[in-house]
Amino acid sequence: MPTFTATKPSVRNIVQDNARGFSLVELMVVLFIIGIASTAVVMAVRSPERGVRDEAEQFAARVAALRDNAILQSRTMAVTVRPSGYGFETRNNGNWVPMSEAPFSATDWKSGTTVQMSGARQMRVAFDSTGLPSSAADIAIKHDNVTVTLKLAATGDIRVVR
């Protein structure tokens, strides 16, 4: 009868087998760490375009909220844009009264931001109770040689474009 003899692997052979490469878990951990580091770098580094676009989109959102508020309250409300910033007003007894409650409090542009409004020094766009603006407007917002434009259509639609 044939006999079978098993040989016991030596410790040296086991160590050599494990030393040939990285395990899948080790590679996954390294990729995870690289991903976290890359995300941190991308989040920390902001492009100049992103900063002015964020400012324009915040302004557009507040104007859209004002338009919606004019519809809900069934009263005329306006946004006034100046070189130094913008504010919101409501019509009360034939006079424009500044609004002060959030999110309609007056806001200054960030330092270094300039605006152009169809050649005007100051602009007021009023929204009636149906949400239609008194006029269409293009407001160019510029910061660090990057310009984005807020487009207010005659239908009341508000968009931010580069």
Q: What digits encode the pLDDT tens for the residues 41-59?
A: 877 765 555 778 888 888 8
Percent composition of the chain: helix, strand, coil (DSSP 3-state, to 5) = 35, 30, 35
Q: Please, which residues bridge with residue 117 across strands? A: 120
Q: Please, which residues bridge with residue 80 across strands? A: 87, 124
pLDDT at 88 over 90: yes
pLDDT at 1 over 70: no
Using CA atoms, how far apart are residues 64 and 152, in angstroms rounded to an integer? 10
pLDDT at 61 over 70: yes
Question: How much is the pTM?
Answer: 0.68
